[in-house]
Structure 1
Amino acid sequence: MKRNLIHRYQQLAAIVLIGIAFASCKKQASYDFNGDSDNKVYLTAGTYNGLAYSGYNFSVANTPGGIVGAVSAAIPVHSTLSATNDIQVKVTTDNTLVGTFNAKTGGTAIAVPDGAITLSSNLTIPAGQVNSKDSLKLSIASDKLATLAPGTYVVPLRISSANNASVSANQNVTYVYFTLVATNCYPSPAAADMTGAIVATRTGWTATLDATPTSGALANMFDAKTNTSWSLNPPKACTMTVDMAATRNAITGVRIHTSSTTYSVNTAVISTSTDGTNWTAQGTATLLNTSAYEYVKFYSPVNARYIRMNITAWKSATQIILTEFDIYQ
């Protein structure tokens, strides 16, 4: 009897101990970073689609009228767990990572020169939160952008320190990337963007092409008819030069007409000349092919007798067809 009583007490004690252990397990904290109980501070990085980087990505044009576009990013930091106390985070630029970025993208981006970047690098994740109450703010002033040569640039940003938390080992870097072009060509202008008026008289205008048209004649571009044309089949890169017979001042843009949007031009490198010998590059024009009329707009008006279009991309795999060529003054 005594032995049975002792055995029952032992069973009861075992059950109590199991219950305590189970309750203790239930009280343990749960963590949202692969079971890591250490709070980690991290940056959200951009993504890579093939060799293309999609993150803090900007485009800037250096035009005769000044900088168009901006480089301005606001980047928060995060923690994997709610902060027990305020977490002070410092982010700095790290140009040693330019090569890492280029290896991932297959690009040739270069670092921004010292002194060009404005950076507010100290951030706070408040107690009880997982996101910073403020954002790292990075910008490059227009006067600084104007001093840069055309090209692609990258600003690598790294978390350099954090208190009351650890810095993530594999998510402590992000990149700000931008492309700078020197151009006098407005991007993808529509009819409503054009200024000035179409020049009505095109007497004596001629054109040449460094390829043999498949059909039609280049002179058809100056007959005021949209049902006459020249075509190139199959399409290929080609250079068309228009001679307007005399120098025209304050040209604000160009209008071309294609037989339909199917056979339109996508991009063309534009240059101008007053004598046919000395040429001024105006930039690469991106043409909006949502209608049969396509436009090139100049940020700053140009004086020219000759306008050259080096056609580099087109919409159809079948042919290019042009029917009319006009300018705005």
Structure 2
Amino acid sequence: MKAQPSEEKERRCNATSATEFVLLGLLKHTKVHTIFLAMILLASITAFSGNALLMFLILMDFSLHTPMYFFLRQLAFMDMGPSLIVIPKMSMDFLILGNTISLALCGTQIFLLLMMGGAEGLLLAVMSYDRYVAICNPFQYPILMNRKMCMSLAAAVWVCATANASIHTAYTMHLPYCGSKDIDHFFCEVPALLKLSCSDTSIYETLVFMSSIVLLLIPFSIILASYTCILSTVLRMKSARGQQKALATCSSHLTVVGLYYGATIFMYIRPNTCHSPEQDKMVAVFYTVVTPVLNPVIYSLRNRDVLRALLKLAGKCTVLHQN
């Protein structure tokens, strides 16, 4: 019995399953792009150093051993991910000819970036709940946000993010890839890979779209509800200093929320047909380079407790150097 055209196509796809891809990259070998690469490397080193310093300050300064800074340390760790996952490979591809990436490394990039990105979105919702309890129910705060609760919330964030990343990575890596293996991107990402598959991915693209809406809208709804209650409580405060401190802390968090959700919604709450390589690359630069640099700056320069801990550490280093 003669095989149907669809069966022949599937057999041909299976016979040419990809073992490696070629990353077309972000930059060309020009002087301008070389300078741009240097700027990206500098920003990545700054992001890694800034987030590492923030984690160190929170760990070493006893005054920062509170739920808010426990979650902030988790956020700093998540922001260190892109600097280690994406930038080294991108730099090597620019400096060394042959921008190939194995299927295993491609899957690793997808999994780690989805895990870190998903965890950050969920963590921002947890952080907004923490601020809600601290400002709206200050007397119950030590009970509601005890150490066990903080550890449980952090564990739930990582478990949910890991499960989501595992599902999408497994499906993407098992798709048949035929013909061109050129990924028009500077790292492996689900929308870029779906364009290379020779199978019908329309159902999966719809599921990605729907799951992205759920994973983004539920945490965002929690954030919106939390800050609506916080704003109402702050406006009723009689102490001007209390209002100022509460608004400063919350404005820092809302700035980070805006940066994260702006990039994520633009990247994933769009049909795959609306994606263009140029737009995807620019958005990817924003959330892999720009946001990890800005987050520690926002939380340090606008946070007196962190600045105080930084000055204390600088003072200790000066004394040790003099001795």
Fold similarity call, TM over 0.5: no
TM-score grouping bracket, smaller chain normalisation: under 0.3
Normalised TM-score (structure 2): 0.21
Normalised TM-score (structure 1): 0.20
Q: Larger Cα Rg: Structure 1 or Structure 2?
A: 1
Structure ranking higher on relative contact order (CA contacts 8 Å, 6+ apart): 2
Higher share in strand: 1
Higher share in helix: 2
